Amino acid sequence: MNHRHRPWWLLVLVCCVVLPVRNQAQSRPAADLIITNAKIWTVDKSLPTAQAVAVIGDRIVAVGSIAVVDAWCGPNTQVVDAGGKLLLPGFNDAHVHFVSGGMQLDNIQLNDATTAEEFVRRIGERAKVTAKGEWVLGGNWDETKWSPPNMPSKELIDALTPDTPVFVSRYDGHMGLANSVALRLAGITAKTPDPPGGTIVRDAHGTPTGTLKDAATDYIYKVIPPLSHDQRMKAAKRALAYAASVGVTSVQHMDASYADIAIYAELLQRGELTTRIYAAPLITHVEDQAKIGVRHAFGGPDLRIGALKAFADGSLGSGTAYFYEPFLNQGNNRGLLSDEMHPISLMLDRYMTADAAGLQICTHAIGDEGISTILDLYGDIVKAHGEADRRFRIEHAQHMAAKDFDRFARLHVIASVQPYHAIDDGRFAESHIGHDRASRTYAFRTFLDHGVRLAFGTDWEVAPLDPLLTVYAAVTRATLDGKNPNGWFPEQKLSVAESIEAYTTGSAYAEFQEKEKGSITPGKLADMVLLSDDIFSIVPEKIRDVRALKTFVGGRLVFDAATAGHQWAPPRVVESSAGNGLRGNQLKSFFVTDQARANGASEESVLFLWTAWLGPPAAPEESLNAQLSHLLRTPAATPNPGT
């Protein structure tokens, strides 16, 4: 047919459909990064799977098929071929001790010392190379791996450490062993009283054995020289590098010191903070944040404060978790309430101060009565101050009373849990508390069935930081001693999908950041990890062997297993194909309006979306394209802290 005889309406259709699409393609900025040929599990229910993702600056702008995402490719776009590997949102560890973890990478390691003799040998060898005046620290020892599983005493190590102070912690962090030099420096004698919330373990004659529990460890910590700036910086850098190597892109640092936060701020200013950090100092310092008006999740995407860490009790292995009934074979010992809970009214006062200031409360509670007591106090806050989006957290929430699952849900408390502890403590928990109480231990499935939100973490340095070990633990519940290959209380197992959700969107929700990260979704931060194997298809037992191949934080490659290097460049304003600077909110806007157009939205609707993000255009009478062009050239307003 001659084109002069084509129907007039066909030409109109071409003008209405083809020309806007062509104009849209020409005006779309090119991606800085495209990851393609991937098996993407987005953790976004609106689009669970995809094959490619495009990034501009530190934000995701497109997720979908290879063909869809290829449209964002430009001459300077970095394209990463994932080779069909699994791409997930970056792991967000909801509970770490980050600087301590970095220190432990260089401290003495005792966790895999399977005999008392090996424990002693390693301490003696470390003492030989320790400079005069310095301490032997670290440890993470576990006497349950020894035969017999007796608690260590100072007599084991004194002969090999006559001039070197030693304080090595049990792996749960609630008990430590000091040698005689350390006890002398701390002034601990037979006459030293047990502090509230702590125990100095003594022999039959009342002499301290060197083993100290919970608040009693403070006697030692007060005489250990504080870290220098350089030592703390080294530990933080070690932790950052290690986190990147295992695919962890965000952490929530529980009981962070102000010196830790200062180091993070310094690294951020230098463009070297390669892990996003939410820091929660101890609640004993609640007035510091309250008096300056800091509220929950205050800060930017890389570093935020506004949470507080509190302690209700101790731990199972140390016999200090607080239970309604006594431990088995430990007389009348029901555990200990922490020193912060003496009296309980003191903790409530601090809670009330924190809540009135809009600060988030995260409380360590392990024993069933310890957990119940904290739920009582959380309920008192709600009664006094009314309903609000507080996102109360209980850290660990290990040994639940049956009556408290519903209460957990009613109070909207987040269970910040560490599945690796389940396959570790599962070796001995029943011998400590019996079968019935153990059946409600690490009850992840029961929590979900009651509508409780889970946030996954590790408690590093107490447990390994590697997220794949955590996923393995949640999915298999196979204890480390090999005695429960089908799972310890297998009814509490989670699926891989549930575990990944708890480790990404669950942890993001726990820090008020679910709109910013936690899924591979356009508009969110481009934090992603490429794995060596598909954990959804391999047998669960193999999950623990999976490794991170590449880790991206804000679209920047911070770990590449191929080179074992850690590459980082500070965030920057990115350039569109027209040379116009785009920033975070503008990138979100570009995606939203682009998607709206694709769904057939009117020009007025598209303009409304832009206005909602960035404010009204300069001249309402301008054409849509001119208005969008103006907005692209307008620097985004500085986002409110904590948004």
42-77 pLDDT tens trace:
999 999 999 999 999 999 999 999 999 999 999 999
pLDDT value at residue 3: 44
Task: Tell me the Ramachandran region of residue 70: left when phi exceeds 0, alpha when psi lies from -120 to 50, beta otherwise.
Answer: alpha
Q: Mean pLDDT across the stretch 336-358?
A: 97
- 181: closest CA among 113, 135, 131? 135
pLDDT value at residue 624: 39
pLDDT value at residue 573: 31
Tell me what the pLDDT averaged over the chain comes to: 87
pLDDT value at residue 329: 87
β-sheet bridge partners, residue 365? 396
Burial of 194: CB neighbours in 10 Å, binned 0-12, 13-18, 19+: middle
Higher pLDDT, 84 or 640: 84
Strands 548-553 and 91-96: unpaired
Higher pLDDT, 126 or 572: 126
All structural domains of the chain, each given as residue ranges with its CATH number in brackets, are 255-520 (3.20.20.140), 579-643 (no CATH)
pLDDT value at residue 28: 83
Query: Contact at 8 Å (CB) between 342 and 198?
Result: no
pLDDT value at residue 48: 98
DSSP 103-158: HHTTSEE-TT--SHHHHHHHHHHHHHTSPTT--EEEEEE-GGGSSS-PPP-HHHHG
Q: How confident is the model at residue 564 (pLDDT cuts 50, 70, 90)?
A: confident
Q: Mean pLDDT across the stretch 537-561?
A: 98
Report helix, strand or coil for 616.
Answer: coil
Strands 136-141 and 166-170: parallel
290-320 pLDDT tens trace:
999 999 999 999 999 999 999 999 999 999 9
Token code pair at residue 607: 């303009």
pLDDT value at residue 27: 65
| Whether residue 188 has pLDDT greater than 60 | yes
Q: Mean pLDDT across the stretch 271-295?
A: 96
Token code pair at residue 92: 């967000």
% of the chain at pLDDT higher than 90: 81
- 377: closest CA among 416, 339, 343? 343
397-426 pLDDT tens trace:
999 999 999 999 999 999 999 999 999 999
